[in-house]
Amino acid sequence: MSVLVFSLLLTAVAFIVHFIIWKIRIPVHQKSILLCISSVILIAGLGILFYRKQYISLLGVKAPQEFHEYLQISVFFISISLAYMVTYSALEADSPSLVMIMTIAKSGSRGLEKKIFEQKMNNEILLSPRIQDLISEKLAYVEEGKYKLTPKGLMFARIFSIYRKILKRSQAGG
Protein backbone atom coordinates (compact mmCIF):
# COMPACT_ATOMS: atom_id res chain seq x y z
CA MET A 1 0.00 0.00 0.00
CA SER A 2 2.87 2.42 0.76
CA VAL A 3 4.20 2.05 -2.80
CA LEU A 4 0.80 2.93 -4.30
CA VAL A 5 0.13 5.86 -1.97
CA PHE A 6 3.54 7.47 -2.31
CA SER A 7 3.78 6.82 -6.07
CA LEU A 8 0.51 8.70 -6.50
CA LEU A 9 1.70 11.42 -4.13
CA LEU A 10 4.93 12.05 -6.07
CA THR A 11 3.02 12.05 -9.37
CA ALA A 12 0.47 14.52 -7.97
CA VAL A 13 3.25 16.82 -6.66
CA ALA A 14 4.97 16.78 -10.07
CA PHE A 15 1.75 17.66 -11.83
CA ILE A 16 0.91 20.46 -9.37
CA VAL A 17 4.40 22.00 -9.77
CA HIS A 18 4.06 21.75 -13.57
CA PHE A 19 0.61 23.35 -13.47
CA ILE A 20 1.74 26.23 -11.21
CA ILE A 21 4.77 27.02 -13.39
CA TRP A 22 2.62 26.92 -16.53
CA LYS A 23 0.08 29.29 -14.99
CA ILE A 24 2.84 31.77 -14.10
CA ARG A 25 4.46 31.56 -17.51
CA ILE A 26 4.61 28.88 -20.19
CA PRO A 27 8.32 28.21 -20.78
CA VAL A 28 9.90 28.41 -24.22
CA HIS A 29 11.43 24.92 -24.08
CA GLN A 30 8.41 23.20 -22.60
CA LYS A 31 9.47 19.57 -22.89
CA SER A 32 12.91 20.27 -21.38
CA ILE A 33 11.31 22.01 -18.41
CA LEU A 34 8.84 19.11 -18.00
CA LEU A 35 11.79 16.72 -17.94
CA CYS A 36 13.53 18.90 -15.33
CA ILE A 37 10.42 19.04 -13.14
CA SER A 38 10.02 15.24 -13.29
CA SER A 39 13.69 14.60 -12.52
CA VAL A 40 13.83 17.05 -9.60
CA ILE A 41 10.58 15.83 -8.04
CA LEU A 42 11.64 12.19 -8.38
CA ILE A 43 15.12 12.62 -6.91
CA ALA A 44 14.12 15.12 -4.20
CA GLY A 45 10.93 13.25 -3.34
CA LEU A 46 12.62 9.88 -3.02
CA GLY A 47 15.46 11.45 -1.05
CA ILE A 48 13.11 13.08 1.46
CA LEU A 49 11.05 9.91 1.80
CA PHE A 50 14.11 7.70 2.26
CA TYR A 51 15.96 9.84 4.81
CA ARG A 52 12.84 10.77 6.76
CA LYS A 53 10.94 7.47 6.40
CA GLN A 54 10.59 7.06 10.16
CA TYR A 55 8.65 10.30 10.44
CA ILE A 56 6.58 10.40 7.27
CA SER A 57 3.14 8.89 6.83
CA LEU A 58 0.14 9.75 4.67
CA LEU A 59 -3.48 8.71 5.26
CA GLY A 60 -2.26 6.32 7.96
CA VAL A 61 0.22 4.70 5.55
CA LYS A 62 3.90 4.83 6.52
CA ALA A 63 6.58 5.82 4.02
CA PRO A 64 8.22 2.90 2.17
CA GLN A 65 10.88 1.19 4.30
CA GLU A 66 12.67 -1.09 1.82
CA PHE A 67 14.95 -0.19 -1.08
CA HIS A 68 12.95 -2.27 -3.57
CA GLU A 69 9.84 -0.24 -2.77
CA TYR A 70 11.66 2.93 -3.81
CA LEU A 71 12.69 1.19 -7.01
CA GLN A 72 9.08 0.32 -7.75
CA ILE A 73 8.01 3.93 -7.11
CA SER A 74 10.73 5.07 -9.55
CA VAL A 75 9.50 2.69 -12.29
CA PHE A 76 5.94 3.96 -11.77
CA PHE A 77 6.91 7.63 -11.75
CA ILE A 78 9.16 7.37 -14.81
CA SER A 79 6.47 5.46 -16.75
CA ILE A 80 3.78 8.02 -15.92
CA SER A 81 6.13 10.93 -16.71
CA LEU A 82 7.02 9.48 -20.09
CA ALA A 83 3.34 8.88 -20.88
CA TYR A 84 2.51 12.47 -19.92
CA MET A 85 5.35 13.88 -22.03
CA VAL A 86 4.24 12.03 -25.16
CA THR A 87 0.67 13.23 -24.52
CA TYR A 88 1.96 16.77 -24.03
CA SER A 89 3.58 16.68 -27.50
CA ALA A 90 0.10 16.11 -28.90
CA LEU A 91 -1.17 19.20 -27.06
CA GLU A 92 1.59 21.54 -28.29
CA ALA A 93 0.88 21.15 -31.99
CA ASP A 94 -2.61 21.09 -33.54
CA SER A 95 -3.18 17.59 -34.91
CA PRO A 96 -4.54 17.87 -38.48
CA SER A 97 -6.74 14.78 -37.93
CA LEU A 98 -8.35 16.24 -34.83
CA VAL A 99 -8.82 19.63 -36.50
CA MET A 100 -10.48 17.88 -39.46
CA ILE A 101 -12.77 15.91 -37.15
CA MET A 102 -13.84 19.04 -35.27
CA THR A 103 -14.40 20.93 -38.52
CA ILE A 104 -16.60 18.11 -39.85
CA ALA A 105 -18.44 17.90 -36.51
CA LYS A 106 -19.16 21.65 -36.59
CA SER A 107 -20.79 21.32 -40.00
CA GLY A 108 -23.33 18.92 -38.41
CA SER A 109 -25.96 17.39 -40.68
CA ARG A 110 -24.94 19.65 -43.60
CA GLY A 111 -21.67 17.77 -43.98
CA LEU A 112 -18.43 19.28 -45.24
CA GLU A 113 -16.91 19.50 -48.71
CA LYS A 114 -13.32 18.41 -49.20
CA LYS A 115 -12.34 21.79 -50.69
CA ILE A 116 -13.02 23.40 -47.28
CA PHE A 117 -10.08 21.43 -45.85
CA GLU A 118 -7.88 22.51 -48.73
CA GLN A 119 -8.84 26.16 -48.12
CA LYS A 120 -8.39 26.07 -44.33
CA MET A 121 -5.42 23.71 -44.12
CA ASN A 122 -2.62 24.76 -46.44
CA ASN A 123 1.19 24.50 -46.29
CA GLU A 124 1.40 27.63 -44.12
CA ILE A 125 -0.82 26.05 -41.47
CA LEU A 126 0.24 22.40 -41.75
CA LEU A 127 3.91 22.42 -42.66
CA SER A 128 5.66 25.70 -41.95
CA PRO A 129 5.19 25.49 -38.14
CA ARG A 130 6.52 21.89 -38.12
CA ILE A 131 9.57 22.88 -40.16
CA GLN A 132 10.16 25.70 -37.68
CA ASP A 133 9.88 23.15 -34.86
CA LEU A 134 12.67 21.11 -36.45
CA ILE A 135 14.88 24.21 -36.40
CA SER A 136 13.96 25.27 -32.84
CA GLU A 137 14.44 21.72 -31.53
CA LYS A 138 17.85 21.63 -33.25
CA LEU A 139 16.90 18.69 -35.44
CA ALA A 140 17.59 20.64 -38.63
CA TYR A 141 19.29 23.84 -39.77
CA VAL A 142 19.29 26.02 -42.86
CA GLU A 143 22.40 26.44 -45.00
CA GLU A 144 22.34 28.35 -48.29
CA GLY A 145 18.58 28.08 -48.48
CA LYS A 146 18.54 24.30 -47.92
CA TYR A 147 17.29 22.42 -44.88
CA LYS A 148 19.73 19.87 -43.54
CA LEU A 149 19.74 17.51 -40.57
CA THR A 150 21.81 18.12 -37.46
CA PRO A 151 23.45 15.06 -35.84
CA LYS A 152 20.48 14.96 -33.43
CA GLY A 153 18.03 15.07 -36.36
CA LEU A 154 20.00 12.37 -38.16
CA MET A 155 19.77 10.12 -35.10
CA PHE A 156 15.99 10.58 -34.82
CA ALA A 157 15.49 10.08 -38.55
CA ARG A 158 17.55 6.86 -38.48
CA ILE A 159 15.68 5.45 -35.48
CA PHE A 160 12.31 5.87 -37.19
CA SER A 161 13.55 4.75 -40.63
CA ILE A 162 15.06 1.58 -39.17
CA TYR A 163 11.95 0.89 -37.09
CA ARG A 164 9.68 1.29 -40.10
CA LYS A 165 11.90 -1.17 -42.00
CA ILE A 166 11.62 -3.65 -39.11
CA LEU A 167 7.83 -3.33 -39.20
CA LYS A 168 7.91 -3.59 -43.03
CA ARG A 169 5.96 -0.36 -43.44
CA SER A 170 5.99 0.55 -47.11
CA GLN A 171 3.67 3.58 -47.16
CA ALA A 172 5.35 6.94 -46.79
CA GLY A 173 3.39 7.97 -43.71
CA GLY A 174 2.96 11.49 -42.41
Partner 1 sequence: MKAMVYLHIFSPVVGLGVNVICQICYCRYRLNASLLKSTFLGFLCGMAILFGLEAIYIAQSALTIPKALPSVSVNLISYASLGYCYFHFINLGETARRIRLLRELIRSQDGLSMDEILKHYNAKEIIENRLSRLLKSGQVVYKDNRYYIGKPVMFFMSKAVLFLKVFILGKKSEFE
Q: Which of residues 106-135 bind partner 1 (CB under 8 A)?
A: 109-114, 117-118, 121-123, 125-127, 129-131, 133-134
Residue 169 as a binder of partner 1 (CB under 8 A): the answer is: yes
Torsion 104-106-109-114 (CA) sign: negative
Which of 12, 16, 48, 101 is close enough to bind partner 1 by CB under 8 A?
101
Residue 60 as a binder of partner 1 (CB under 8 A): the answer is: no
Residue 50: CB atoms within 10 Å: 15
DSSP assigned state of 66: S
Using CB under 8 A as the binding criterion, the count of chain residues that bind partner 1 stands at 78
Contact (CB, 8 A) for 6 and 26 = no
Q: Write the interaction track for partner 1 spanning residues 10-29; mark x where CB under 8 A is met and - where it is not.
A: ---------x--x---x---
CA distance 128 to 121: 11
Angle at 28 between CA 22 and CA 30, to 5 degrees: 60
Compare residues 1 and 44 and give the one whose CB is closer to partner 1: 1
Buried b (16+ CB within 10 A) or exposed e, 3-42: bebbbebbbeebbeebeeeeeeeeeeebeeebeebbeebb
CB of 44 vs partner 1, minimal distance in Å: 20
CB of 104 vs partner 1, minimal distance in Å: 5
Residue 103 exposed, middle or buried by CB count within 10 Å (0-12, 13-18, 19+): middle
CB of 97 vs partner 1, minimal distance in Å: 5
Which of 35, 50, 56, 76 is close enough to bind partner 1 by CB under 8 A?
76
Residue 32 as a binder of partner 1 (CB under 8 A): the answer is: no
* Span 81-100, contacts to partner 1 by CB under 8 A: 82-83, 86-88, 90-98, 100
Residue 35 as a binder of partner 1 (CB under 8 A): the answer is: no
Residue 33 as a binder of partner 1 (CB under 8 A): the answer is: no
